[in-house]
């Protein structure tokens, strides 16, 4: 069981959808995403009808129109950030699942986001960093350290199977890092209350970081798109890939680095959001098969779709105030994770 | 052919028997010694807790009389009404977590499958939060909610990992997932409480002993008494389960009954502590393996309880006194030290699997 590669990733080349369907699917998914984005602009504490939203976007409303202001200055940055972060997380999920050959891999589950979060908190509390661009470098360092630790720990075990030890190692590292965050923040009520929503993952009031993180996100997404062929080669297994002339070690390291970059960018922007990468990658594979050249762009779309949809749904939850999107994705993502976990070790009970 | 040379074999046998008896006696002595030391350390830590009067600055010679009810207003409040209950809750809660963890570890035959790792503690916390926020529950209502939450989560986790039997690693995997969901529910309710003060939020998010009172002590004492009695009652059957289900059934153990009773007991003990302290992580996980190492016996739920009591008392004192970072919620300290133990257990399995 520990040697058998995981089912969805290993079925390279056997599961392929028709090119026309793939292209059409991409367009359909993009349309769906546009609808969700418009809903994200229209729905909230103050519902604004879609026509007004469109007019505001096209600049047809007078400059002092209140609804127009809300759409352009509050909700547009938020939706854009959601799209960007969702795309990063979706791609990160796909890359991590391919690199670890583990269908349960997700930047949140593997503790990579917790690493980024802990490093950002260290940056804020101890070093005194206050601008988002500074957050990013801390997030990147923390994510890299966490990813390396989890990889090393799971490599040191042969517990039942690699994918299980990877998840437990991720949970342990995440618990350790989140307790570090608590230790650093709990004594200062003001710092604590501002970090509490951040440590859950939230899009509220984070539109401002968009400009700062846009370059990093675009670079990370661009690098991810170029990974398609190497990930396809890795999925064939180390020996076959080496036979095809791929330098397995460096390729895997590079891909893992890009995955960490994606996760760190997303976390620096909005805090840890679990399960978007996991579900996004699986949805993308369901739609286009297992060729990473296609799965990667698709997973960016599905990740963005998931995060924006979760954000819209989180605003519709009854009660005062809206829900942090990280809570929404955890509640929605858990059944998905459990279903995948149940498939693990089938017949080995 | 003297009589002495005629009986070398029986001599050897007698020697072996004597050595074995001596070894058994030495082992018993060792176990007794370890348990006694644990008990003394635990009581000592509760006593230390009494002296942590912080800003109140009560002189040491006023503490002990105050603990016995002979203190003035301030000393009585700080020592007897605040520190004493807190120390006792740490003692009793740690014991309950330890017993609960050791039961689950034995039940699933896996040191990682404890209520805090597989999400049952988070489930109890979520249940408590929901009845507090939804029905304004206090006192026993909170405990009821915690038990219901723990029961629901354990049934979900156990049920979902069932595939013609429960494989422990699938259980852990699913437990981690469901636990993440329960934690999200806790966060959801905490951020929505109108009077979500940091202290109160911390208790439910990571576990804290702040603000525990005499009522909590009474509740945990009753739970511990009932729990210990039930553990003693099912202990033999549980021990036989280690031989394998079929052999145990052959020995007259009603396997499904014992299994269900042990699961229910482990769940309920963890749920009651969680309803008082919040989901304090990893005490249930580490107490069992430490007790095993110390006593050199495969598993002993009650000894694990004693170790858990020492651990929680010690970490609670550390949480209040550690330089630079204190005061912090106790759960943050247990997570800081417990997570490396979880990793060590994970890595160490290589030798045994």
DSSP state of B55: G
CB contact under 8 A, B335 and A334: no
**Each residue of B68-124: pLDDT tens digit?**
877 777 888 888 888 899 999 999 999 999 999 999 998 888 888 999 999 999 999
A114 CB within 8 Å of a chain B CB: no
Torsion of CA B65, B66, B67, B69, to 10 degrees: 90
Which pLDDT does position B87 carry in this prediction? 94
pLDDT confidence band for B15 (50 / 70 / 90): confident
Q: What is the pLDDT of residue B312?
A: 96
From chain A residues 141-180, the ones with a CB under 8 A of any chain B CB are 153, 156-161, 164-165, 167-169, 171-173, 175-176, 178-180
Q: B28 lies in a domain?
A: no
Percentage of residues in chain A having pLDDT higher than 90: 34
- Other C-beta atoms lying within 10 Å of the C-beta of residue B162: 14
How many C-beta neighbours within 10 Å does residue A40 have?
24
Question: B176 lies in a domain?
Answer: yes
- Of B133-137, B146-150, B231-235, B321-325, which has the strongest mean pLDDT? B146-150
CATH number for the domain that contains residue B284: 1.10.3470.10
The beta-carbon neighbor of B329 closest among A180, A186, A344 is A186
Residue B317 lies in a domain: yes
Mean pLDDT of all residues in A41-54: 82
Whether B169 sits inside 8 A of A182 (CB atoms) is no
Q: What's the pLDDT at B307?
A: 95
Assigned domain for B29 exists: no
**Cβ-based contacts of B178 with chain A (< 8 Å):** 334, 338
Between A129 and A346, name the one with better pLDDT: A129
Cβ of residue B173 closer than 8 Å to a chain A Cβ: yes
Residues of chain B with Cβ-Cβ distance to A104 below 8 Å are: 173
Over the Cα atoms of chain A, what is R_g?
A: 20
Q: Do A172 and B166 touch (CB under 8 A)?
A: no
Task: Name all contacts of A49-57 with Cβ < 8 Å and 24+ positions apart.
Answer: none
pLDDT in tens, A180-190: 888 888 777 76
Check pLDDT > 60 for residue B350: no
Give the C-alpha separation, B297 to A257, whole Å.
46
Residues from chain B contacting residue A110 (CB–CB below 8 Å): none
Contacts of A345 in chain B (CB under 8 A): 167, 169-170
Q: Which residues of A touch B174 (CB under 8 A)?
A: 338, 341-342
How far B343 CA sits from the closest chain A CA (Å)? 6
Into how many domains does chain B fold? 1
Local structure of A318: helix, strand or coil: coil
Domain carrying residue B315: 37-341
Inform me whether the pLDDT recorded for B196 exceeds 60: no
CA A213 to chain centre: 15
Q: For residue A196, what pLDDT is reported? A: 66
> What's residue B9's pLDDT?
59
Contact A42, A54 (CB under 8 A): no
Percent of chain B with pLDDT over 90: 40
B177 touches chain A (CB under 8 A): yes
Contact A178 B181 (CB under 8 A): no
DSSP output for B97-145: HHHHHHHHHHHHT-TT--TTTTTHHHHHHHHHHHHHHHH---THHHHHH
Report the distance separating Cα B317 and Cα B314, nearest Å.
Answer: 5
A55-97 pLDDT, tens per residue? 888 888 777 788 888 888 888 888 999 999 999 999 999 999 9
pLDDT at site B76: 82
Closest CA to A38 of A71, A87, A81: A71
- Is B161 near chain A, with CB under 8 Å? yes
CB contact under 8 A, B167 and A331: no
Q: Identify the pLDDT of residue A197.
A: 63
Asked if residue B120 belongs to a domain, the reply is yes
How many contacts (CB atoms, under 8 Å) link A and B?
147
Mind telling me how many Å the CA of A342 is from chain B's nearest CA? 6
Chain A residues with CB under 8 Å of B165 CB are 349
Per the domain annotation, does B311 fall within a domain?
yes
Q: What confidence score (pLDDT) does residue A265 get?
A: 92
Residues of A in contact with B327 (CB under 8 A): 187
| pLDDT recorded at residue B194 | 63
A332 contacts chain B (CB < 8 A): no
Residue among B117, B206, B350 whose CB faces A158 most closely: B350
Cβ(A254)–Cβ(A216) under 8 Å?
A: no
Q: For residue A7, is pLDDT > 70?
A: no
Task: Give me the interface pTM, i.e. the ipTM.
Answer: 0.84
Chain B residues in contact with A169 by the CB 8 A cut-off are 343, 346
A73 touches chain B (CB under 8 A): no
Report the residue of chain A nearest B158, measured CA to CA: A342
Confidence check: pLDDT of A349 > 50: no
B159 interfaces chain A, CB cutoff of 8 Å:
no
Query: What distances in angstroms separate CA A34 from CA A27, A29, A83, A308, B160, one per listed residue?
Result: 10, 9, 10, 10, 36
Q: Is A349 in Cβ contact with B339 (below 8 Å)?
A: no
Q: Give helix A162-185 / helix A76-100 axis angle, nearest 10°.
A: 140
Asked if B174's CB is within 8 angstroms of A186's CB, the reply is no
Distance from CA of B156 to the nearest CA of A (A): 10
Enumerate residues 6+ apart whose C-beta is below 8 A from B239: none
What is the least distance, in Å, from the CA of A173 to any CA of chain B?
7
The model's pTM = 0.87
- Taking the CA of residue A99 and the nearest CA in chain B, the distance in Å comes to 20
Contact present, B182 and B123 (Cβ < 8 Å): yes
Q: Is B199 on the interface with A (CB under 8 A)?
A: no
In the three-class reduction of DSSP (H, G, I as helix; E, B as strand; rest coil), residue A289 is classed as strand
Q: Which residue of A has its CA nearest to B332?
A: A179
A321 with B353: Cβ contact below 8 A:
no
| B248-259: pLDDT as tens digits | 888 888 888 888
Domain assignment present for B107? yes
Residue B156 included in any domain: yes
Chain B residues with CB-CB distance to A274 below 8 A: 180
Q: Give the pLDDT confidence of B34-77 residue by residue, as tens digits.
A: 899 999 999 999 888 888 877 777 777 777 777 787 777 788 88
Residues of A in contact with B339 (CB under 8 A): 172-173, 175-176, 179
Contact criterion met (CB < 8 Å) for B346 and A345: no
Q: Do B170 and A341 touch (CB under 8 A)?
A: yes
Q: Which two tokens stand for residue B50?
A: 């009494």
Average pLDDT over residues B205-219: 89
């Amino acid at each position: 069981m520990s040697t058998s590669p995981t089912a969805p990733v290993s079925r390279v080349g056997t599961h392929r959808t028709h090119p026309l369907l793939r292209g059409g699917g991409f367009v359909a998914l993009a349309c769906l995403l546009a609808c969700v984005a418009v809903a994200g602009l229209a729905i909230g504490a103050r519902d604004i009808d879609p026509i007004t939203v469109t007019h505001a976007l096209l600049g047809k409303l007078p400059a002092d129109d209140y609804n127009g202001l809300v759409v352009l200055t509050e909700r547009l940055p938020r939706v854009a950030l959601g799209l960007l972060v969702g795309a990063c997380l979706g791609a990160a999920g796909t890359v991590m699942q391919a690199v670890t050959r583990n269908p349960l891999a997700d930047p949140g589950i593997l503790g990579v986001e917790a690493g980024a979060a802990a490093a950002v908190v260290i940056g804020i509390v101890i070093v005194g960093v206050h601008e988002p661009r500074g957050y990013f470098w801390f997030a990147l360092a923390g994510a890299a350290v966490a990813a390396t630790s989890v990889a090393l720990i799971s490599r040191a075990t042969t517990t039942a199977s690699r994918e299980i030890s990877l998840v437990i190692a991720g949970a342990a590292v995440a618990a350790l890092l989140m307790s570090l965050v608590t230790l650093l923040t709990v004594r200062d009520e003001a710092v604590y209350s501002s970090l509490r929503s951040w440590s859950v993952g939230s899009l509220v009031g984070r539109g401002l970081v968009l400009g700062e993180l846009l370059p990093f996100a675009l670079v990370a997404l661009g690098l991810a798109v170029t990974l398609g062929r190497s990930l396809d080669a890795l999925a064939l297994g180390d020996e076959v890939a080496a036979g095809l002339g791929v330098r397995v070690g460096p390729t895997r390291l590079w891909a893992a680095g890009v995955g960490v970059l994606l996760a760190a960018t997303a976390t620096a922007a909005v805090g840890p959001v679990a399960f978007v990468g996991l579900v996004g990658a699986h949805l993308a594979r369901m739609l286009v098969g297992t060729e990473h050249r296609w799965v990667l762009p698709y997973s960016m779309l599905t990740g963005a779709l998931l995060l924006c949809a979760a954000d819209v749904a989180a605003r519709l939850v009854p009660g005062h105030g809206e829900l942090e999107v990280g809570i929404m994705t955890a509640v929605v993502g858990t059944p998905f994770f459990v279903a995948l976990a149940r498939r693990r070790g089938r017949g080995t009970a | 052919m003297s009589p002495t040379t005629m009986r070398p074999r029986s001599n050897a046998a007698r020697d072996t028997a004597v050595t074995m008896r001596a070894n058994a006696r030495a082992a018993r002595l060792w176990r007794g010694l370890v348990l006694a030391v644990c008990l003394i350390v635990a009581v000592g830590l509760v006593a230390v807790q009494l002296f942590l009067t912080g800003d109140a600055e009560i002189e040491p010679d006023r503490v002990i009389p105050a603990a016995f009810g002979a203190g003035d207003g301030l000393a009585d409040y700080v020592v007897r009404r605040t520190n004493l209950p807190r120390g006792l809750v740490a003692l009793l809660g740690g014991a309950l977590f330890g017993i609960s963890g050791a039961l689950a570890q034995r039940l699933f035959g896996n040191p990682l499958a404890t209520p805090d790792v597989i999400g049952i503690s988070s489930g109890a916390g979520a249940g408590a939060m929901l009845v507090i926020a939804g029905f304004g529950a206090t006192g026993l209502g909170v405990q009821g909610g915690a038990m219901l939450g723990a029961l629901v989560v354990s049934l979900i986790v156990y049920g979902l990992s069932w595939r013609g039997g429960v494989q422990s690693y699938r259980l852990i995997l699913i437990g981690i997932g469901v636990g993440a969901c329960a934690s999200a529910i806790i966060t959801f309710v905490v951020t929505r409480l109108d009077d979500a003060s940091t202290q109160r939020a911390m208790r439910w998010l990571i576990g804290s002993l702040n603000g525990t009172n005499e009522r909590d002590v009474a509740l945990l004492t009753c739970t511990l008494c009932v729990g210990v009695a039930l553990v003693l009652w099912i202990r033999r059957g549980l021990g036989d389960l280690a031989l394998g289900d079929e052999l145990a059934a052959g020995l007259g153990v009603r396997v499904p009954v014992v299994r269900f009773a042990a699961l229910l007991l482990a769940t309920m003990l963890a749920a009651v502590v969680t309803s008082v302290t919040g989901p304090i992580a990893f005490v249930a996980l580490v107490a069992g393996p430490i007790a095993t190492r110390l006593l050199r016996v495969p598993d002993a739920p009650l000894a694990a309880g004693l170790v858990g009591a020492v651990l929680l008392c010690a970490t609670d004192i550390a949480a209040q006194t550690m330089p630079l970072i204190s005061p912090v919620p106790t759960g943050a300290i247990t997570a800081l030290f417990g997570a490396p133990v979880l990793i060590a257990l994970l890595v160490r399995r290589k030798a045994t699997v």
